[in-house]
Amino acid sequence: MFEDAPEIIRSFLSYKLNIQNRSPLTVSEYYLDLRTFFRFLFLNRGDTDETELESVDISSLDISYVESVTTADIYDYLLWLAEKGVKAVSRSRKLSAIRAFFKYHTAKSHLIKTDPSEHIDSPSVKRKLPKFLSLEEANALLDSVDMSDDNGERDYCILTLFLNCGMRLSELVGINLSDLSHDLTQLTVTGKGSKQRNIYLNQACKDAVRAYLNVRGRNATKHGDTIKDKNALFLSSRNSRISNKTVQWTVNKYLEKSGLSGKGYSVHKLRHTAATLMYDHGGVDVRLLKEILGHEQLNTTQIYTHVSDRQIEQAMEKNPLANKRK
């Protein structure tokens, strides 16, 4: 993997992949970001005869070159990205890759002595309030499922788990029958970095899972077909594990049926919805919500626990002068 990467980059990627257990996709993004950074340096310093960034060969990158990188080099790179119209959130991600790379080689491999990225602030990113369905819209989405349809129980179960558990798309697709407890009270999901966590299923989830399990085998075999992935909870029309795209298509279908299309809702917005409903209507503590959602950092959870208009209204009514009359 990453055979074309210089050894000093490859050792960092190996650490992320095998020691820190980052996903292959995340590690690939690290590589692409680092490759772009060092290609920029080769061009900016005149260390290559190439004129196009994509053509720059960085195979000669070694310890001495990495040691020569300065804070000013990184600022030049960030400025170049900004001038090319790269958004602040993307520039911040690319800076994170550079930071992680230099932190590894100063604190872990000890190949270099100083970290030129240590005191560079991330580009300021404006946080947008996450889109989420209201309680009424969530109910409308669930009510739009036709249970007489061949996939009615499956689709209703998918929507119920999204809206109640706040799981990620990859987590739902990856659910195995063996991940469910015998009494259907608990579900083990595998999140980012292959980290597992237990989710406790409420009554709505247990009922939806049970109803789907009652027809799962029958629906799969009624045309004489056999189940290809016997341990997968959710099956496609081809009797194999359901794909990300199929789940996305299914959710979009019911968003349209319930009159909610065109509002920017998506599979991930159902995760936002679950978090918001638990926090806003259920009074779930933000630290507990962090564990439910499988976040590593509390500040990540904060974006789901934005203050709602209803909470603002209630806070205003609690002012001791709220009922003052003259």
Is position 304 annotated as part of the catalytic site? yes
Is position 295 annotated as part of the catalytic site? yes
DSSP result, 250-291: HHHHHHHHTT-TTSS--HHHHHHHHHHHHHHTS---HHHHHH
Q: Which of 93, 192, 197, 257 is catalytic?
A: 192
Q: Which of 271, 272, 279, 290 is catalytic?
A: 271
Q: Which of 16, 168, 216, 241 is catalytic?
A: 168
Helix or strand holding residue 97 (H, E): helix 88-107
CA-based max dimension of the chain: 81
Q: Which of 30, 104, 212, 304 is catalytic?
A: 304
Is position 310 annotated as part of the catalytic site? no
The residue count of the chain comes to 326
- The residues near 230 (Cβ < 8 Å, ≥ 6 apart) are 177
Taken in order 79, 84, 88, 92, the sign of the CA dihedral is negative
Looking at this protein, which amino acid is placed at residue 104?
Y
DSSP assignment letter at 4 = T
Give CA torsion, residues 65, 66, 69, 75, to 10 deg. Answer: 130
Helix or strand holding residue 29 (H, E): helix 24-44
Beta strands in the chain (DSSP E): 186-190, 196-200
Q: Which of 93, 99, 206, 268 is catalytic?
A: 268
Is position 105 annotated as part of the catalytic site? no
Catalytic residues: 168, 192, 268, 271, 295, 304
